[in-house]
Structure 1
Amino acid sequence: MFLQEERNAAFELMPEMASFLETSSLLDLERGESQILADMFRRGGQPGLTIAKELGGGGVSAVTMAKLHTWIGAHCPSLAVMMTMHHHTVAGMMAGSRFFPDIQGLLSMVARDKLLVASGFSEGRAHAHILESRMAVEKTGDGYIVNGSKKPCTMTHSFDVITFGVNYIDPEGRLHTGIGMGFASDPSIERKKFWSVPHLQAADSHEVTFNNLMVPESMICFNTAVDDQLDDAQLGTGENLFAIWFQLLASASYLGMASALASRALSGNKGSQDDRAMLLIDLHGATMALRGLAGSIDENRFFRSDLARAQATRFSVQEAVNRISARAFEILGGMAFMSSEEIAYLLVATRLMAFHPTSKLASTPFLCEQLS
């Protein structure tokens, strides 16, 4: 059966939510209130899946998370985007907790209280890397004062904790890149409407502004603190933790959206046998590429060469998603397009994968350096 392994993962990890999604209208979910999806994610979606069992989480592997995100993407694209932003951030924090033990307390809280964590990385700027930031960071005696904004920021009105990229220049002129964290209840955090297109609007992606947000030392983690514990070949691991997890889960989510289109074409036995075979080839090729990337994550491989492979996998899957959705759209035909809004919606939604970090143009020199 199509997406059977992915379905099994969803029903094993979150049976009530999976059952609801499977019996709901995709467009009703996409056009409904984002708070409904956030509440469902918090209540039945297990926000602590990627957190270690000893911290109260699910300890779920990257391979299983890829399956889950593909299935969610096929049934509710906006929820898949929400879950991508939450899980890649939490998984990155989990992987980095051996360098920053203080994070373990927050991770335990996320798992215990089912907190939703927003990803304030990458500020919608062309060709920027995931942790690059324009946030103004000022050192004080009690920590750091942060000013700036993040847009778009998924789960703008629903997050409990928000993470964001920070670039701090110390008194010696050295640049320190890392992540900071704040709580939704802080009055220094404001929200403004930003997303104005109908696609993925239920993901609640608007603007979050920080107005003199006070962040204590324990809530900011700099890459230099990671690099100081590693050798030269491992430098950059602090950023890679988040970037590699993001490429996996975002790619899996958008593959799910393309799979939803392919499923409609295949179930209707539309097109020629060659057309259907090409759909299946692209689907299985992309799936296996993601399984390989997930396997390397489960082996704790987060070096520069692993980041390059993750980016290459993402761009390979992105091209496959474009081919799958275009071919399925053509196979389904004009009558299906005119009679089902879902088909046109899914086609456009799959194209939004290209807008997530990092851009192909920004990655090209790095990929040529690492892969050639």
Structure 2
Amino acid sequence: MTTTAADTTETTTEWIAIARQVGQNLSPGVAARDRTGDIAVDAFDLLRDTGLSAALVPTELGGGGATHREMGEILRELGRHDPSTAVAFAMHSHLVAAQLWRHRHGIDATPVFTKVAAGAILVSTGASDWVDSNGRASRVEGGYRVSARKAPASGCEVGTVFVTSIRWQDAPGGPQVLHCAIPRTADGVRIEKTWDTLGLRASGSHTVVFDEVYVPDAAVSLVRPANVWPPVLNVVIGAAMPLVMAAYLGIADGAVELAALLAADRTDPHTFQLAGEMMNAHTTAADLIAAMFTDSDNLRFDNTDAYASRTLSRKTVAADSLVSAVRLAIETVGGLGYSRTCEIEMRYRDVHGSLFHPLPRAKQTRFSGRVLLGHTPIG
């Protein structure tokens, strides 16, 4: 069956409507969770029940068959209503997206899709999994014993499978990194509640501890040299960053919309100027994130350092623009926007999280500069 532009628009509209319904159900508790730092456990039940947690899974494998861009629209809509849940859910979604890229490039991801379609929530164990990784792995019969502390791991309290990597320092031939999946229920897995931050306080981004956890060979998807740029991270960057930034765009959407509502009756020149500057920053971010999805080609992009570099450059500029947009929302509203009685204040704290996803500005510019000048991304 041929899919037309009208069909795609109708499908996207349906996904947004579902996400809006979920967001509206969660919205009344957002302020309280921001104060307590408690993740919305019921949110992930809703995401399962409505099919959003499996939206990216192909229909023939039990999922919703959503496109990469449609998943971005889902996250954007959730970010309008519940920023912490949207960002935590983006961590699950980007892992599913990376598997979909693999599936579309001839690597069967059916086992993962089957789990997600059945309700599994995937949790990324965070920045600890970058090129060098951390932790300790040792070879045992039939697999490995692994120990590590991984943080931040957004949504870890509601996750069912941790997607992680562990450093195998004593591997034959030199240090290696294992990429593997570990069930939340495995012996030796625990969560330490360490997440106490300026923003995204209810994202449940605590520390996952693996204490001599047994990982069978079948759960290891990749063994690669440590300290060498791995092409798999190009895939992760291309799949993840558009989705993650879409959630933050939703956070900014809510701030801009509320600022426009609160300042609608003002006619003083400086308010018009601030509102225009806010619009410029918001539009810049939205256009950059839209370009990320366009270049993704629905997760058919080429696995190249240049593609990852371009995606990361857009991420940095988009993050700066989102922070500026929400700051300008506060200025447009005035003193009320600085008060914790106004939702914009929370969104200003939350949107700063965008700065810390891989790669932060200084690391990104070094990465992109090396790629532009013909070098490997790290060195």
> Are 1:17 and 2:11 an aligned pair?
no
- Taking the TM superposition and a 5 Å limit, the aligned residue runs for 1:312-323 are 312-323=313-324
Three-state SS of the structure 2 residue aligned to 1:215 is: strand
1:364 shift after superposition: 2.3
Change (3 A) 1:133 1:24: same
2-structure distance, mates of 1:144, 1:245: 28
Alignment of 1:154 with 2:154, yes or no, is yes
Contact persistence 1:6–1:71 (CA under 8 A)? no
Residues 80 and 282 of structure 1: CA distance in aligned 2, closer, same or farther (over 3 Å): same
Distance 2:364 2:64 in 1: 33
User: How far 1:153 moved relative to its partner?
Assistant: 1.4
**Percentage identity across aligned positions?**
19
Alignment of 1:119-134 (within 5 A): 119-123=124-128, 130-134=130-134
Instruction: Return the alpha-carbon distance in structure 2 between the equivalents of residues 183 and 300 of structure 1.
Output: 30
The aligned amino acid for 1:208 is V
Residue 180 of structure 1 pairs with residue 174 of structure 2: no
Question: What TM-score, normalized to structure 2?
Answer: 0.83
**Pairwise CA distance, 1:169:** 4.9
Q: Corresponding residue for 2:326?
A: 325
Give CA deviations for 1:10-34 in whole Å, capped at 9, x if unaligned.
534446414424x635414545742
Aligned in 2, Cα 1:158/1:338: closer, same or farther, shift over 3 Å? closer
- The Cα shift of 1:326 comes to 1.2
Secondary structure at the aligned position of 1:149 is classed as strand
TM-score by length of 1: 0.85
State how 1:225-240 maps to structure 2 within 5 Å: 236-240=230-234
Cα distance, 1:199–1:323 mapped onto 2, change above 3 Å = closer
2:70 to 52, 64, 71: 64
SS at match of 2:54: coil
User: Residues 218-269 of structure 1, C-alpha deviation per residue, up to 9 Å, x if partnerless?
Assistant: 21122659xxxxxxxxx84322222222221221212221221111111232
Deviates further, 189-198 or 324-333: 189-198
Q: Which digits, 9 at most, give the CA deviation of each residue in 1:85-107, with x for residues without a partner?
A: 10111211232245653x42122
**Per the alignment, do residues 279 and 202 of structure 1 end up closer, same or farther by CA in structure 2, a change over 3 Å counting?**
same
* Cα-Cα RMSD: 2.8
Report how many aligned residue pairs link the two structures.
Answer: 352
Give 5+ residue unaligned stretches, structure 1.
124-128, 226-234
State how far apart, in whole Å, the 2-side matches of 1:84 and 1:285 are.
Answer: 21
The residue identity in structure 2 corresponding to 1:118 is V
Give the direction of change, closer, same or farther, for the CA distance of 1:242–1:223 in structure 2 (3 Å limit).
Answer: farther
Structure 2: runs of 5+ lacking an equivalent: 1-8, 374-379
Correspondence for 1:232? none
**CA distance change for structure 1 residues 52 and 339 in 2, over 3 Å: closer, same or farther?**
closer
**Stretch moving more, 165-174 or 312-321:** 165-174
Q: Pick the aligned partner of 2:245 from 251, 268, 271.
A: 251
How far did 1:39 drift? Answer: 2.5
Structure 2 counterpart of 1:27: 31
* Contact 1:11–1:19 (CA under 8 A) maintained in structure 2: no
